[in-house]
Structure 1
Amino acid sequence: MSEKERALIARTHEQFGTCLTAERLKNDLEKLGVSSGMTLLVHCSLSKIGWICGGPVTLTQVLLDLLGPDGTLIMPSHTCDNSDPKYWQYPPVPSEWFDIIRQSTPAYQPDITPTLYMGKLAETFRKWPGVLRSEHPQHSMIASGRKAKLIIDKHYDSCSEQSPLARLYDLYDNGYVLLLGVEHENNTSLHLAEYRFYTRNNIEKNFINGASVINSQTNKPYWFQWNDYDYHSEDFNQIGYAFDSIQGNTNIGKVGLAQCRLMKQHLLVDFAINWMNQNRMK
């Protein structure tokens, strides 16, 4: 057992006197507002919640049970290592490796390629029976439930109108975002706002993106490049906290040890576009 896990056990025991169970998580999530029939995009730091008996399997099952047969659970399954190495920073690699990496990176395959930096919950959910995954080689998303196919289908562009984020927005009052122990800097829906901010202000795509994909003719990997926006999240916490400050926008409460947020995605996106117009244009 690692020291990190020992510390997590100690914090959980100090706060609750026992480990976190499915029943406790269910009660906390219901108090926050998670309910049957929602289409719910979840971002999660499992360790912030506390020591859960059954870990990510327990939390995944609790979320699916709460959403019920009419609900849909969504998580990001991004693969940022399938990208141009010249942009890597955490950590960077020597420039003489760039061409080798481009030529040698395995092509994105929805059923095989693991997530990266998405956390244990998303990687567990990726392997869950019946989960669907979108086709984008870097910014894929995974979903299970009534609207799963609608959400992940035809994911042609990172965070644009042809993305799961836009399909969630289209659901309006039935489309929600849940932040479990993470801040708005991890709130991927703000990239949809960013995309709309760019396009409505006639800002051109000036970022050359790349990924290894399968050539449908030869069934072999090749390096594919496209023009994209240079998305960033430096001001996402500012945007999110401003959104939270308006009464009725965000349900804030504890799930286990973690401060968590539940919000309607379309309200957040519309607010963020206006915020960017007022602040990024200065």
Structure 2
Amino acid sequence: MLVGRTQLARELVALGMRPGAVALVHCRMSALGTVVGGAETVVRALLDAVGPEGTLVAYVGWEDGPPDDLDALAVADRELVLAEQPVYDSAVGRARRDHGRVAEALRTWPGAIHSGHPEAGVAAVGREAEAIALPHPLDDGYGHGTPYARVVERAGQVVLLGAPLDTVTLVHHAEAIARVPGKRRVEWRCPVRVDGRREWRTLHDIDTSNGAFPYEQLTGGVDYVEFFARAALDRGAGRSGPLGATTGHVLDARELTECAVELIESAFAQS
């Protein structure tokens, strides 16, 4: 199925994308069909939908970051990484491939503002790009004072273009701000630039790979990110419908976050 810019923009508006909106987007190009012009066309269709006053945001991460567990490497390999791993440079550090081609297209789009975080980083394009992207604290990169918090504060939207519900990154923001003790946390080492010097720093965050809590008891084995996104849709926090050759979703960022926080706090506040 061939899909063009005009069709995508029209269907995104029908799904509820608003002119002037701040939109956190996730895209699986292969699900949309054969898009004439590829990822560039998808970005242009998104820009058509939000208009000149709108802002697009994408979770980009870092494809070529250091290994998660340096201590698991052989001594010689660890020394090589410590000596030669580059500091994250958002101008050239590629978006993670599993985040999709649209994330990389937005990272390299003219005028894009990068938040600079090597793992939880975002790229933003549009009127409020700088206000959304900056600053981005190195520790607790999904919590208060981050781009994800500012998407919610600005009544933003989460837009899935063929991407599955388990890609909704804003669920990690809900995990981070839920008022529940005992969250599972991780730490990893990464080179950063401090006062013009390269130095290794240990960064800390909630565990976004396995989840901040033992969600199995709540989700019944469903991926927890999908579980919270679907719960929000079931509560009327968004709309689903045709988009290219697949199904698209547009969710209200604040309602999604509130739904996930409520479910997390109800399930784990006493644990």
**Do Structure 1 and Structure 2 share a fold, with TM-score over 0.5?**
yes
Which residue identity does 1:243 align to in structure 2? A
Which of the numbers 239, 242, 248 marks the counterpart of 1:251?
Answer: 239
1:119 corresponds to which of 86, 89, 100: 100
**Residue 94 of structure 1: how far off its partner (Å):** 5.0
Instruction: Classify 1:259/1:102 alpha carbon distance in 2 versus 1 (closer, same or farther; 3 Å).
Output: farther
CA separation in 1, counterparts of 2:203 and 2:24?
A: 27
2:203 to 214, 219, 226: 226
- Work out whether 1:276 is the aligned partner of 2:249: no
Distance in 2 (CA, whole Å) between partners of 1:132 and 1:31 is 28
- 1-structure distance, mates of 2:145, 2:177: 12
1:104 aligns to what? 84
Q: For 1:80-159, what aligned pairs fall within 5 Å after superposition?
A: 81-86=64-69, 95-96=74-75, 97-116=77-96, 117-156=98-137, 157=139, 158-159=141-142
Q: 1:5: which partner in 2?
A: none
State which of 182, 187, 203 in structure 2 corresponds to 1:208: 187
Aligned to 1:16: none
Give the secondary structure class of the aligned counterpart of 1:85. coil
1:64 aligns with 2:43: no
For 1:176, the equivalent position in structure 2 comes to 157
1:245-265 deviation digits (Å, cap 9, x = unpaired): 12x311001211121110110
Cα deviation for residue 204 of structure 1 reads 6.3
Count of matched residue positions in the alignment of Structure 1 and Structure 2? 254
Tell whether the 8 Å contact from 1:69 to 1:146 is kept in structure 2 after alignment: yes
Whether contact under 8 Å (1:83, 1:209) holds in the other structure is no
Residue 205 of structure 1: CA displacement? 7.2
Which residue identity lines up with residue 203 of structure 2 in the other structure?
W
Query: Hey, what does 1:33 align to over in structure 2?
Result: 16
- The match for 2:168 is 187
CA RMSD of aligned residues (A): 2.1
From 240, 254, 262, the counterpart of 1:266: 254
- Does the residue aligned with 1:263 lie in a helix, a strand or coil? strand
Residue identity opposite 1:66 in structure 2: A
Q: CA deviation at 1:229?
A: 2.0
Range 50-59 or range 232-241, more displaced: 232-241
Structure 1 equivalent of residue 225 of structure 2:
236
Instruction: Tell me: CA distance 1:206–1:50, structure 2 relative to 1, closer, same or farther (3 Å).
Output: closer
C-alpha displacement at 1:170, in angstroms? 1.0
Instruction: Look up the equivalent residue of 1:227 and give its one-letter code.
Output: H
Gaps of 5+ in 2: 212-222
Query: What is the DSSP-based 3-state SS (H/G/I as helix, E as strand, rest coil) of the residue aligned with 1:195?
Result: helix
Aligned partners of 2:196, 2:151: CA distance in 1, in Å?
32
How big is the shift at 1:242?
A: 1.6
TM-score (normalizing by structure 1): 0.83
Question: Does the CA-based 8 Å contact 1:169-1:266 persist in structure 2?
Answer: yes
SS of corresponding position for 2:35: coil
User: Which whole-Å CA distance do the structure 2 matches of 1:187 and 1:244 have between them?
Assistant: 12
Task: For 2:255, give the aligned amino acid.
Answer: L
Matched position secondary structure for 1:112: coil
Task: Give CA deviations for 1:69-110 in whole Å, capped at 9, x if unaligned.
Answer: 11111111111642443289xxxx855534433432211011
Asked if the contact 1:137/1:212 (under 8 Å) is kept, the reply is no
Q: Unpaired segments of 5 or more residues in structure 1? A: 1-11, 13-18
TM superposition score normalised by structure 2: 0.86
Matched, 1:22 2:5: yes
Shift, 1:186, TM fit: 0.8
Quote how far apart the aligned CAs of 1:139 are.
Answer: 1.3
CA pair 257-20 structure 1, distance change in 2 beyond 3 A: same
Q: For 2:87, give the aligned amino acid.
A: A
User: What SS does the aligned partner of 1:34 have?
Assistant: coil
